[in-house]
Amino acid sequence: MPSIPSVDVQPDDAIVVVEHVFKSVSDSTGTLDILQDIHFTLGARQTAAIVGASGSGKSTLLSIIAGLDTPTRGTVRLAGQDIFAMSEDARAALRAQKVGFVFQSFQLLGNLTALENVMLPLELANRRDARAAAAEMLKRVGLGQRLGHYPKVLSGGEQQRVALARAFVVQPALLLADEPTGSLDFATGEQVMRLMFDLNRELGTTLVLVTHDRGIADRCERRITIEAGRVAPAQEIEV
């Protein structure tokens, strides 16, 4: 099959622009450089996997893209806006409008039902149709009969599908996923990833995921490999 080089899109067309990001932390033993001069762009609807060895800085980079962590130097532009020129409150508001998250540990609220978990970001955005929209998205992920169930009675795969529904229900411009199948068995993980990519195509979301799974990385249009805190030279990805 033909291969496509992992080439950046033009910044004017980008949803995410990472601009020469550095991240260092210091303690009594000295300074540790976690990320060094990371820069790339991602366009609308693109899928990208951030890969690398444990401790290479993948999750730190994902947190910086989200504006949850701050770089030592450099910045990130999301939908054209410099997120580190904003106040924390403004960044939080932008995340609520533009960004969805899926985590390895699901991050569902145990005292809320599946429906209430998915309703939460809509309610925070003052959506009057929160209940109907959340119910529809849960049906889309195959949980239409589990709306009133609490996370503790859902399987791991069901919990991750609730998390997917919560992430996609706001129709984010960008979805960030950190090892989304890390807590799941292979078959369940496959079901979740097929669903994630289906929703990505259906809603036109830009998808960035951290993964150790080469099979998952190979499904993405882009592979961003972090080695010793830097982006490794672009490789061609078979599609």
Q: For the segment 166-221, what is each residue's pLDDT rounded down to a tens digit?
A: 999 999 999 999 998 888 888 888 988 999 999 899 999 999 999 988 889 999 99
Q: Burial level of 169, CB count in 10 A (0-12/13-18/19+)?
A: buried
Assign 133 a pLDDT band (cuts: 50, 70, 90): very high
- Chain-centroid distance, C-alpha 24: 22
Q: How many CB atoms lie within 10 A of CB 53?
A: 12
Domains of the chain plus CATH, in order, are: 3-238 (3.40.50.300)
